[in-house]
Amino acid sequence: MKKELHFDRTEFAARVSAVKKEMAKRGIDILLLSEPANQNYLTGYNAYSFYTPQAVIVALNHDEPIWIGRFMDRISAVMTTYLADDNIRAYPDRYVQSSLSPCDFMAEVAIELGGEKARIGVEMGSYYYSARAHADLVRALPLAEFVDADILVNWIRIVKSSAEISIMRQAGRIADAMMQRAIDTIEPGVRECDIAAAVYHQMMSGTPEFGGAYTCSPPYLCIGERAIAPHAAWTDEPLPASTAINLELFGNRHRYQVNLSRSISVGKPSASYQKLSEIVVEALNAGLESVRPGRTCSDVEGFFRQALARHGFEKEARLGYSIGVGFPPAVGERTASLRKGDETVLQPGMVFHMMPGLWLDNVGITITQSFAVTDRGHEPLTSTPRKLFVK
Amino acid sequence: MKKELHFDRTEFAARVSAVKKEMAKRGIDILLLSEPANQNYLTGYNAYSFYTPQAVIVALNHDEPIWIGRFMDRISAVMTTYLADDNIRAYPDRYVQSSLSPCDFMAEVAIELGGEKARIGVEMGSYYYSARAHADLVRALPLAEFVDADILVNWIRIVKSSAEISIMRQAGRIADAMMQRAIDTIEPGVRECDIAAAVYHQMMSGTPEFGGAYTCSPPYLCIGERAIAPHAAWTDEPLPASTAINLELFGNRHRYQVNLSRSISVGKPSASYQKLSEIVVEALNAGLESVRPGRTCSDVEGFFRQALARHGFEKEARLGYSIGVGFPPAVGERTASLRKGDETVLQPGMVFHMMPGLWLDNVGITITQSFAVTDRGHEPLTSTPRKLFVK
């Protein structure tokens, strides 16, 4: 069977090794990972199967991670991971949406790895580690000690390898192509859903050299009154002759996501709206130019804030967040944020989406930039010009 | 501000009333709902914002539900729900991915509703009710009694109103259009990602009369070796001159999902593969024809199983599941399954996806039918012919 691994075995080994080092430091014997992105990061596993319980277990005393999932997804584990067959464990269908708990199956694997009385790390804040899953595991492993190891792996994957950055450059090119397609499609009279359709088409077809993948979130297409509702769904309404559009798009390649937002004015923008866009770009550039290893997230946000304050504006929400490999519904990595007080020190290989949306009472501008931290500064991962587009 | 309500106020009132009746029966004073589909069902709320903590609280002593979410999503709550402004509560950005817990904010609202010592129902198995959320709430409300009210609302929404069925008919028409577009696009040499692109385009543009929405799951596009991996992602590879494709698509309208799977043979299928498809359709039809109010899910599965057994086949996975309003990553409603032993009695207004995939060692056929239970039998919600398509 054809394997679909996007990284060398050595890269996976380095990732697992870094996780084990952190486990040892925290005294964790067994780490049970529920977050699909972390499962993908450590094993390569890639299928949309995590809506039924699924786990990857890393044990200090076991070389490879162990994947546990539904029997019909075993084949995806064989195809997309480097794991030996014995490290792929599947529970039968009778566990699916029934009175039986797949956590009992997971607990048996943990016990096999010496986990009966072990210190077990779990991801307490993961979308896919429900309150019930935790209760079931605690019941099935009454002698074990459970500790919160949420975002332990996320903090390791925050620094990307050069192979990962290469993939994110491709995701960025897809995001650029999506934005161009959106701008091309936007015209008065076009239904909102048809703009969404064009954007999705480009998201998947990508470029002639490489295609795209499903994203962690639908595109945000915020029009007119809804321009101030950042996560609204589109409608069937035709675009009016004059309106403001805020578009947030996500290019995805091999599960790596790169974000890109732009504002588009249908019809000539007012002078004040045009001015607002220029202020946002100025502050965005000030933030970007301040990026370098050794500075903190808080420092970078400060440079942005200062530039914005010169025009009498401030922004309530955080300025950005770390991005990388992801699955729905996670838009960010849940680690570092570009915000006041976040003292995370920037390192080469970190990737952020800087998103200085500026929202007034009834209008907003969102012009953003995803970038990688480099040895000396930053590398933009998209090349769409930073400006208000006018159609 | 323009409201986007897809149901009458009276329909929402009836839903809330049914939930309160069930709460009273179980002695639940306050119900805290984490599942986005349940939030949508009871309030109309529709935005992709649930990746940050969000809740809808139904209290026996309070008329309307209360929506709680992030400050920037307040505007979507105003736009898409019927709730009075005072029943829309937003927490500030400092709670987002920080050391502060939005559950403290939620607990304050619960206390305001007399919940300090109340019996509080929570959705223990919801994707969006993490182990941490539960621990935080228990800490913030130490005198309250917590009970598992998982899928309480799901069991109420399993029976759809005629307004909901109308929307699901539209979702079915979108699914049909998607399948036709896929069949039109599939040709040797076309990249898999370009088939995905065409499918997504149709998913969103829908029909000339109405558009589509993002779905609970990406389409499944399983080709060649991966035809037996039901939830695999597509690749960039061009289609070979001869291959088998299993496609599972989801039409979505106003967050209601209708599923549709078909197998497509690129190149002339072998006689045995053609025969396999005919057996599946025969068993599918036997299952469908057996549907009527009063029979159980288990009964229906039995008719299917019997028809399949006549050809010496059996199917391990369940035959289907209830569908309706949904958000990622949930493909089904997590209630009734068409499987042996599920004694749920069919009622008019229930909707299922009957999915008799038949998997052999290296090949599979999947020809499915979504349907509503009617007064006398069933109404198919898609009209794509039940057969193996050949390209």
ipTM, two decimals, is 0.95
What is the model's pLDDT at position A316? 73
Chain B environment of A135 (Cβ under 8 Å): 124
Nearest CB to A201; choose among B150, B200, B206: B200
Give the contacts of A309 (CB within 8 A, at least 6 positions apart): none
- Rounded to a whole number of angstroms, the distance from the CA of A64 to the nearest CA of chain B is 22
How many residue pairs from chains A and B have C-beta atoms closer than 8 A?
220
- Rounded to a whole number of angstroms, the distance from the CA of A46 to the nearest CA of chain B is 7
Chain A environment of B332 (Cβ under 8 Å): 97
Cα separation, B353 vs B357, in Å, equals: 12
Name the amino acid, one letter, at B38.
N
Per-residue pLDDT band at A229 (split at 50, 70, 90): confident
Short-list B245, B226, B192, B237, CA closest to A78: B226
Q: CB B48 to CB A72 under 8 A?
A: no
Core vs surface per residue A125-158: b (16+ CB within 10 A) or e:
bbbbbbbbbbbbbbebbeebebbebbbbbbbbbb
Peptide bond into A329 cis (omega under 30): yes
Chain A environment of B125 (Cβ under 8 Å): 130-133
Core vs surface per residue B175-195: b (16+ CB within 10 A) or e:
bbbbbebbbebbeeeebbbbb
Q: CB A131 to CB B131 under 8 A?
A: yes
A126 at B interface, C-beta within 8 A: yes
B214 at A interface, C-beta within 8 A: yes
What is the model's pLDDT at position A328? 95
A146 at B interface, C-beta within 8 A: no
| A135: closest chain B residue by CA | B131
Place of tokens 């069902």: B41
Using CA atoms of A341, A344, A346, A349 in order, give the dihedral in degrees to the nearest 10: -130
Sign (positive or negative) of CA dihedral B204, B368, B217, B299: positive
Q: CB A150 to CB B132 under 8 A?
A: yes
Structure token digits, residue A380: 């933009």
| A47: closest chain B residue by CA | B232
Chain B environment of A359 (Cβ under 8 Å): 72
Cα separation, A272 vs A151, in Å, equals: 42
| B74: closest chain A residue by CA | A229
B9 at A interface, C-beta within 8 A: no
Between B361 and B373, the higher pLDDT residue: B373
- Mean pLDDT for B319-324 is 96
Residue A380 host element (H or E): strand A378-380
pLDDT digits (tens, 9 = 90+) for A255-314: 999 999 999 999 999 999 999 999 999 999 999 999 999 999 999 999 999 999 999 888
Cα separation, B330 vs B340, in Å, equals: 22
A100 at B interface, C-beta within 8 A: no
Structure token digits, residue A242: 């004059």
**SS3 breakdown of chain A: % helix, strand, coil, rounded to 5?**
35, 20, 40
Is pLDDT of B2 > 80? no
Cβ atoms within 10 Å, residue A279: 18
Cβ atoms within 10 Å, residue B41: 25
Nearest CB to A135; choose among B1, B72, B124: B124
3-state secondary structure chain B: CCCCCCCCHHHHHHHHHHHHHHHHHHCCCEEEECCHHHHHHHHCCCECCCCCCCEEEEECCCCCCEEEEEHHHHHHHHHHCCCCHHHEEEECHHHCCCCCCHHHHHHHHHHHCCCCCCEEEECCCCCCCEHHHHHHHHHHCCCCEEEECCCHHHHHHCECCHHHHHHHHHHHHHHHHHHHHHHHHCCCCCEHHHHHHHHHHHHHHCCCCCCCCCCCCCCEEEEHHHHHCCCECCCCCECCCCEEEEEEEEEEECCEEEEEEEEEEECCCCHHHHHHHHHHHHHHHHHHHCCCCCCEHHHHHHHHHHHHHCCCCCCCCCCEEECCECCCCCCCCCCCEECCCCCCECCCCEEEEECCCEECCCCEECCCEEEEECCCCEEECCCCCCCCEEC
Structure token digits, residue A230: 């950042």
H-only helix segments in chain A: 9-26, 36-43, 74-80, 102-112, 131-140, 152-157, 162-185, 192-205, 271-289, 297-309
Q: What percent of chain A has pLDDT over 90?
A: 88
Structure token digits, residue B294: 């009063």
What is the model's pLDDT at position B361? 65
B379 at A interface, C-beta within 8 A: no
- Mean pLDDT for B205-233 is 91
Per-residue pLDDT band at B248 (split at 50, 70, 90): very high
Average confidence score pLDDT of chain A:
95
Burial of A6 (0-12, 13-18, 19+ CB in 10 A): middle
| A73: closest chain B residue by CA | B229
Segment of A154-168, A324-338, B330-344, B359-373 carrying the highest mean pLDDT: A154-168
Q: CB A134 to CB B133 under 8 A?
A: no
At residue B364, φ and ψ (nearest 5 deg) are -150, 155
Name the amino acid, one letter, at B70.
R
Cα separation, B241 vs B187, in Å, equals: 8
Burial of B158 (0-12, 13-18, 19+ CB in 10 A): buried
What is the model's pLDDT at position A377? 98
B147 at A interface, C-beta within 8 A: no
Cα separation, A290 vs A319, in Å, equals: 14
Place of tokens 């009966």: A116
- Rounded to a whole number of angstroms, the distance from the CA of A389 to the nearest CA of chain B is 24
Per-residue pLDDT band at A363 (split at 50, 70, 90): confident
Per-residue pLDDT band at A346 (split at 50, 70, 90): very high
Q: What percent of chain B has pLDDT over 70?
A: 99
What is the model's pLDDT at position A361? 65
- Rounded to a whole number of angstroms, the distance from the CA of A55 to the nearest CA of chain B is 14
B132 at A interface, C-beta within 8 A: yes
Name the amino acid, one letter, at B358.
L
Cα separation, A80 vs A43, in Å, equals: 8
What domains are defined for chain A?
9-157 (3.40.350.10), 162-390 (3.90.230.10)
Q: CB A211 to CB B234 under 8 A?
A: yes
Sign (positive or negative) of CA dihedral A186, A191, A196, A199: negative
Strands B337-338 and B256-266: unpaired
Chain A environment of B198 (Cβ under 8 Å): 201
pLDDT digits (tens, 9 = 90+) for A140-162: 999 999 999 999 999 999 999 99
A272 at B interface, C-beta within 8 A: no
pLDDT digits (tens, 9 = 90+) for A9-50: 999 999 999 999 999 999 999 999 999 999 999 999 999 999
Is pLDDT of B227 > 80? no
Q: CB A130 to CB B132 under 8 A?
A: no
Cα separation, A91 vs A105, in Å, equals: 7
Between B276 and A359, the higher pLDDT residue: B276
| B322: closest chain A residue by CA | A97
Nearest CB to B130; choose among A124, A191, A202: A124
pLDDT digits (tens, 9 = 90+) for B285-318: 999 999 999 999 999 999 999 999 999 888 777 8
Burial of B209 (0-12, 13-18, 19+ CB in 10 A): exposed
Cβ atoms within 10 Å, residue A376: 10
Q: What is the DSSP string of A120-181?
A: EEE-TT-TTSBHHHHHHHHHH-TTSEEEE-TTHHHHHHTB--HHHHHHHHHHHHHHHHHHHH
Is pLDDT of A371 > 90? yes
Is pLDDT of A70 > 80? yes
- Mean pLDDT for B358-378 is 89
| B49: closest chain A residue by CA | A231
Burial of A309 (0-12, 13-18, 19+ CB in 10 A): exposed
